[in-house]
Every structure is written in C-alpha cells, then in structure tokens.
Chain A
Amino acid sequence: MFYREVGQFKTSYAADQALLPILQDRIGIAVILLVAFVVVPLTASNFALDSVLIPILVLSLAATGLNLLTGYTGLLSLGTGAFMGVGAFACYKLTTYFPNVNIVILVLCSGFFAAAIGTLFGLPSLRIKGFYLAVATLAAQFFLSWCFIRVPWLYNYNISASIEVPTKTMFGLAVTGPTASSITRYLIVLSIVTLLVLLAANLLRGRIGRTWMAVRDMDLAAELIGIKLYQTKLLAFAVSSFYCGVAGAMMVFFWLGNAESESFNINQSFLILFMVIIGGLGSLLGSFLGAALIWGLPIVLRAAPPYFGLHIRSATVDQSTFVILGVLIVFFLIVEPHGLARLWQIWKQKLRVWPFPY
C-alpha cells in the first residue's frame, strides 16, 4: 500500500532503466539527502558529527569499495586497510608537493594511487580465487603496513612517524586541520561520499557492473560468453581500491586529523569486511547499514550502562563489547545470512502488500 509501483508506466527504455525507476524511491532518496545535507548540520552536536556521522560516512565509502570487489565481483580481499593507507599516505605526499591545489581534488587524486597499487596486488586473482586469494591479499596488507613504517619518505621523515594534517582552506573556510569546524568537514565528506556512491550505482547497472556480476556468479561461464576475465577482475580491483583509497584519505584528513600506520592495520581490513558481510554482500545500501551497525554498536554499548545508572569498569565494558559484538555477528548471520540489506527488501515487500498479505 505504501510502496506500490502500480500505475507508474514507463514510455521509453531510458525511463525504464533509470537509476530509481520507482517514485517512492526517488522521494525516499530525496528526503534522505535533504536530511543529511540540511537538517543534520543544523541540529547535530559536534560529538554526533565527529564520532558518529563522519566515521560512518567514511567507513561506508570503504565498505562500498570492498563491496564492489567482494560483493559484486566475488573476489575476497583482506587488504582493504592497506589500500586505505595507500590513499592516506598518497594524499599526504600530494599536499606536500602541491600545497596550493584544492584539498578535495587531492583527496580524489590519491584514490588513483591506491587504484594502481590495488591493481598490482590484484594480479594473483588471475590465477587463484576464494580463500586462496584472500590470503594473497593479506600479503598486500602486511607488506604495505611494513612500508608505512619502514619508508620514512612517506611521512616526510618526521619523528613521530605519523601523518600530521596541515590546515587547508576552501572558500576562506578551514576544511582540514585542528581549526576546521565539524560541520564543514561533515558536509565535504558527505558530498564526496554521495558523489562516489552515485557513480558506483551507475557503474553497477551498466556494462561494467554486469560483467562483474557475471564473473561473480560463475567465472568460467562468464569467460565463455566473451567476458575478458583478466580485465574485468583487475578493473574491479582498481575501482575498489580507488574507493578505499579515497576513504582512507578522507579518514585522515577530515576525520582523525592525524594518523600512523596503526590506523591501517589488519584489524581495519577485518572491520570493513564485517561491515560488508553484515550489511549485505552485493548491496550498496548494505555497505551503509553495515558501517552504521558495526560502528554504532560499540558506541551504544559504551553509552548504555551509565544511562541505566550502572557503573562498570571501562575495561569490563570493552571486553563485554567484544562478546556482545561477536554474539550479534553470529545472530545476524543466522537470522539473515544475506545481511541487513535483505531485511530491508523483506520489509519493502511487507510495505507493498500491507494490509492484505495474500
């Protein structure tokens, strides 16, 4: 009743293949964007922006990148953290070489460096797949982590071995560094994420996305119908790493403000993989839901005991958070192995047939 496509006729192929063919979807997306761009900056507190919304947006972008590779092309990767690191360090080097160029352009450019490295480490995917490939990408993870520590050129030889973000301005407003306000950073992150996710959505419904999905469903069959496996897989690695790289650069420049190699270690890779699987493999919406859940849950768990007047040692809270997170991961997998995105689909169907479920 609330979500009916009945009566929405299409009179051209272009309209039929539009990104959002259903009116309710268009309204929904418009409302979400309106809330994100206008209502949130007006109402949200600095805490909400800095430790909830910006991280979730950045991590969603990284999850989207991994989802393109794992969810849509079927190539399991455990090197996401390292590819994010490549983006971050590339962006840092770019700001030192081109101090006058707009920071947003540099952030986007750093994605290309991550893409190049990602493609290089994607080469083994031509011969191996499945968990074997996952271990091969672990090689990328550990090798790049090692580089982030051992190659001082990457962090401009400073003693703390970390990235210190310089203050950059745009239209006279500080957008990075300690003086930048949360709202400015939030809006920039939101704009980049919106832009890139829109790009991803369009990529996925076109020829490239379809070849990816064909490879995922059965790579031998895909090869037989004339899809070039090598190019398709490498392109997936490149695009995925591009997204991860941009996410990594944004993470350092618009969220953390400084970063060392620790921020891009193996745990980061696993965290992004959780988000993709819990959110839903092969769903852009899932990347956002997964990121929100995995990032939001520990915050809620930490905030919950004081709210109920309980005082528990913070170490105990951290440890219980681990247990609860583990239990919830297993619980979600059992209840809905296809992720949160599938839950939304089921719910949509309910909205469609309500109030007569037959």
Chain B
Amino acid sequence: MHVLYLIFVDPFMQMAHAPDLLVQTLWDGLVSGVLYALIALGFVLIFKASGVFNFAQGIMVVFAALTLVGLNEHGVPAYLALAITVVVMLVLAVAVERAILRPLVDQPEIILFMATFGLTYILIGMGELIFGGDPKVMISDQLRLPSGSYRINMLGGFVQLQKIDIAAAIIASIMVAGLGILFNRTRIGRALRAVADSHRAALSVGISLEQIWVIVWFAAGIVALATGIMWGARSNVSFALEIVALKALPVLILGGFTSIPGAIVGGLIIGVGEKLGEFYWGPLVGGGIESWFAYVIALVFLLFRPQGLFGERIIERL
C-alpha cells in the first residue's frame, strides 16, 4: 500500500504543494526537449529522403560545433568561422554522398545504417586529431548569443528562465518553419518528398538522387550546426554529446521516423517526461533514472501506436 502511495499519490502532492518547482521542472524539460528535438530533426530529414538511419547525426553536431570553436581559436573571426563551418558541412554532405551513399545505393537498410557507424568513427577520429579531445567553451559572446536569465515571480515562488534557452526555442521554431516551407512550398521540396516516397519512381521522372541527397545531408548539417551552437552555449563542446544524441532515438519512436512535427512534439514530450520522472519519481529508486526513462516512455508508447504519433501508417502486404 505504502509503495502505491509513494508512486501514485505522493509525487502529485509534491507538485501541488510547490507549483513553482513544477513549472521550473517543466521548463527545464522543455529546454532539453528542444535539444532532443533538433537532433531528431536531423535524423528525420535524412531518413525521409534517403531511407538511411543516420547514426552519425549526434557526432555531426559535435563536429560542427568543434569546427566553429576550433576555427575561432585559431584567430578566425566568429562570423567568418560560422560561414566556413557551413561550407565544411556542405563539403561533408558532398563527401558522404560520393564516398558512402552512391556506392551503397539500393543496399539493405542495415548496411547503410552500418555505414553511418563508419562515418561516426571517421568523424570522431578526425575531430580529435584536428581539434583535440578536450572540452571547449562555445564562443557565445562573439556570436552575440544572449546570456543571463529572467527571474519571474509566480505561484508563490520564482522561476528562472535562461535567455539562451529562449533563443534556442525561437531558433528551433524558425528552423522548423523554414524546413516546412522548403518541403511543402518549393520545387526542391516536392522532389524531396518524391524521393522519400520512392527512389526509383523519382529517378524515372528525372529527379537527380545525388543532388537530393547532398541537399538533405547539407540541411541536416545545418541543423547539426545550430544544435551544436545551442547545446555548446549551455554546456561545453565535447564528445559527451554522442551519448546525449542517443536520446533522439526514443524521440523518433514517439514522433515517427518520417515526421518533422513528430520530431518536435516527441522531443518536447520526452524532455518533459524525463525531467518530471527524474525529479518526482527518481528518488524512489535511487535517482539517475534519466538515462533510461525516455526509452521506457517510448516503449510504453510503442505498444499502443507502433508507427509513432505522426508516423505514416505501416501497411504490410504479402
């Protein structure tokens, strides 16, 4: 009985007693949710257009942020470094298409998945070789990112909102809106959706697969760069993000592998759920449940909707 009380009643009592803490926890959850959502967004872009489950998305984030900070360390002005990093991501997209996707076209999914593992290793090694493996500080000031925080008095306490988090949320929304327009309103977007539906049919009506792949990998690279800047501004730029990036996977399950809104909503749900779980239910089992709670949320969810929140309905035929 007592256990049931601890699980089902006590956490909610705590929430009711200290609503300001609840709001703070929710906000923290939303903020980390934005990060997960951005990483998931990169996954979805590539999965939609090339059917590749891109494991390297997490390391692309690190690589982009490292390039930016590393260039700045060598005396390149911040905005020029940003421009160069964008070019580097474009070069990476072209290189990936040439060296990995083109020779492996029409192979089973798992082989392409494995190839992105190879890419992960290459990027980790190159990043460490060129820029060193130590954590670096993001150049937030040079990029004129806002710092400091708002303190809002509410509900008998106060809630602290970091300005950088608000900026991250705004940038994320702009990026999603931009991608939405790109996908739904432009010629390239139509080609992208055609490729997502069927490679061969798209080829037969004259869409260049190579070009489309470069575009989506480049778009994913830009998303990675934005993620890297936002995340680097909150903590350091280090290879630790690789593990955080795995959190994008339950987000994908929740949102569906092919849905951009799904990635965003899924990211926010996972972020909030994880923080609430850690804060209110974590102490019951000794804490640290953040590492797996997201997966459990996703798993429970999968049992009811195997295709995710917004994913396309899975229809199987013989």
Task: Tell me which of A131, A277, A326 contacts B111 (CB under 8 A).
Answer: A277
Chain B residues with CB under 8 Å of A218's CB are 318
- A330 an interface residue at 8 Å Cβ cutoff? yes
* Contact yes or no, A127 B302, CB < 8 A: yes
Kindly identify which residue among B103, B119, B291, B318 contacts A326, using a CB–CB cutoff of 8 Å: B119
A333 & B250 in contact (Cβ 8 Å cutoff)? no
Q: Is the CB of B104 within 8 A of A337?
A: yes
Check A274–B302 contact: CB distance below 8 A: no
Q: Which residues of B contact A138 (CB under 8 A)?
A: 246, 249-250, 295
Cβ 8 A contact of B99, one of A150, A274, A320, A330 = A330
For B318, what are the chain A residues with a Cβ–Cβ distance below 8 Å?
218, 220-221, 224
Residues of B within 8 Å of A130, CB to CB, are: 109
How distant is the Cα of A136 from the Cα of B296 in the complex, in angstroms?
8
Q: How far is the CA of A136 from the CA of B115 in the complex (A)?
A: 21
In the complex, A149 Cα to B114 Cα: how many Å? Answer: 30
Given the interface pairs A135-B252, A145-B291, A270-B117, the reply to whether A150 lies near B285 with Cβ below 8 Å is yes
Instruction: Give Cα A316–Cα B128 distance, bound, in whole angstroms.
Output: 9
Interface string of A115-152 (1 = CB under 8 A from B): 00000000010011011100110110011011001100
Docked pose: A333 CA to B103 CA in angstroms:
9
Distance in Å: Cβ of B106 to nearest Cβ of chain A: 10
Provide the A202-235 mask, 1 if CB < 8 A to any CB of B, else 0: 0000000000000000101100100000000000
**Please, how many angstroms separate the alpha-carbon atoms of A124 and B298 in the complex?**
11
Task: Kindly list chain A residues whose C-beta atoms are within 8 Å of the C-beta of B119.
Answer: 326, 330
Q: How far apart sit A6 and B233, CA to CA, in the bound complex (Å)?
A: 70
The tally of CB-CB contacts under 8 A between chains A and B is 132
A contact residues around B128 at 8 Å (CB) = 319, 322
Say how far B244's CB is from chain A's closest CB, in angstroms. Answer: 12
Residues 73-108 of chain A, each 1 if its beta carbon lies under 8 Å from chain B, else 0 = 000100000000000000000000000000000000
- CA A277 – CA B118 in complex, angstroms? 12
Contact indicator A322/B121 (Cβ below 8 Å): yes
Which chain B residues border A220 with CB–CB below 8 Å? 316-318
Residue of A nearest to B285 (CB): A150
A201 CA to B237 CA, complexed, in Å: 48
Rounded to whole Å, the gap between the CB of A302 and the closest CB of chain B is 14
- The residue in chain B whose Cβ has the minimal distance to the Cβ of A334 is B103
Question: Closest residue to A123 on the B side, CB-wise?
Answer: B303
- Taking a contact as CB atoms under 8 Å apart, the answer to whether A142 and B120 are in contact is no
Determine if A330 and B306 form an interchain contact, defined as CB atoms under 8 angstroms apart. no
B114 contacts A333, C-beta separation under 8 Å: yes
Q: Let me know if B196 is at the binding interface, CB within 8 A.
A: no
Interface range, B side: 35 or more
Q: Indicate if B100 sits at the interface (CB-CB under 8 A).
A: yes
Q: Determine chain B's interface SS by DSSP, over half rule.
A: helix
Decide: B115 and A330 in contact? CB cutoff 8 A. Answer: yes
Once A323-B126, A330-B99, A337-B104 are accepted as A-B contacts, the answer to whether A274 and B299 lie under 8 Å apart by CB is no
Query: Is the C-beta of B283 less than 8 angstroms from some C-beta in chain A?
Result: no
**CA A321 – CA B109 in complex, angstroms?**
26
Decide if B125 touches A322 in the complex (CB within 8 Å).
yes
In the bound complex, residues from chain B placing their C-beta under 8 Å from that of A321 are 125
Say whether A327 faces chain B, with CB atoms less than 8 Å apart. yes
Contact of B249 among A135, A143, A149, A278 (CB under 8 A): A135
- A149 contacts across to B, CB distance below 8 A: 288
Q: Is B231 interfacial (CB-CB < 8 Å)?
A: no
Contacts of A325 in B (CB 8 A): 118, 121, 125
What separation, in Å, do the CA atoms of A326 and B127 have in the docked complex?
Answer: 13
Do residues B107 and A326 form an inter-chain contact, with CB atoms below 8 A? Answer: no
Instruction: List, in ascending order, chain B residues with CB within 8 A of A277's CB.
Output: 110-111, 114
- A221: chain B residues at CB < 8 Å are 318
Residues of B contacting A135 with CB < 8 Å?
249-250, 252-253, 295, 298
- In the complex, chain A residues 166-217 whose Cβ is within 8 Å of any chain B Cβ: none
Residues from chain A with Cβ under 8 Å of B257 in the complex: 131-132
Q: Lowest 8 A-B CB distances belong to which pairs?
A: A326-B121, A322-B125, A139-B295, A323-B125, A329-B118, A326-B122, A142-B292, A330-B118
